[in-house]
């Protein structure tokens, strides 16, 4: 987008609160990340992506076994990928939501096992990366490809414009 940025890593608890639905959870996570990263540089962007089916949230797997179980559940089914981007400037905290539907083909035990051996599922919400090897499992998407990857470009640009950030020049205040 033509914007200079600095990556800030201020870990936060990503535990799901009792009774929290997928949308409320991902909105809360993105806002907490934006606030946790705020410093003296102006504004921060926080984003979070989850995979959900009904009220079940699939974040990053905790183990290979967890990844295999998630992939078995997603196999042959449509699920929702929610990515929320939040921006905080020290006073104002706003967010946008990207919701996409993804259809995964029916996966064999061997495909799941072979894919998990690559290590790719261990760092991905829902245990697959559409932008990587896991993309071969994706039959259809309805929504934002960049949102499924993890940063919905259209929505992020729209949110930045609310903060008077010109994404073409990277300048503030147009």
| Residues labelled catalytic | 48
CA distance 30 to 36: 10
Beta carbons of 52 and 37 less than 8 angstroms apart: no
- Could you tell me which residues come within 8 angstroms of residue 66 by beta carbon, excluding any fewer than 6 positions away? 127
Question: Exposed (0-12), middle (13-18) or buried (19+): which is 69, by Cβ within 10 Å?
Answer: middle
Edge-first strand order for the sheet with 56-58 is: 56-58, 44-53, 78-88, 93-104, 138-142
Separation CA 49–CA 51 (nearest Å): 7
Q: What is the DSSP letter of 66?
A: H
How far is residue 95's CA from residue 74's CA, in Å, rounded to a whole number? 28
């Amino acid at each position: 987008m033509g914007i200079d940025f600095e990556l800030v890593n201020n870990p936060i608890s990503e535990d799901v609160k009792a009774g929290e639905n997928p949308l409320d959870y991902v909105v809360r996570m993105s806002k907490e990340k934006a606030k946790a990263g705020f410093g003296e540089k102006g504004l921060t962007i926080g984003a979070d992506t989850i995979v959900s089916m009904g009220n079940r949230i699939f974040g990053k797997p905790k183990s290979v076994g967890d990844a295999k179980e998630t992939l078995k559940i997603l196999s042959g089914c449509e699920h929702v990928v929610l990515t929320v981007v939040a921006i905080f400037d020290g006073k104002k905290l706003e967010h946008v939501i990207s919701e996409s539907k993804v259809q995964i083909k029916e996966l064999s035990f061997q495909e799941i096992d072979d894919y998990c051996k690559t290590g790719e599922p261990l760092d991905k919400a829902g245990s697959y990366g559409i932008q990587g090897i896991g993309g071969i499992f994706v039959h259809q998407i309805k929504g934002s490809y960049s949102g499924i990857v993890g940063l919905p470009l259209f929505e992020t640009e729209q949110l930045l414009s609310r903060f008077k950030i010109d994404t073409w020049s990277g300048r503030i205040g147009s």
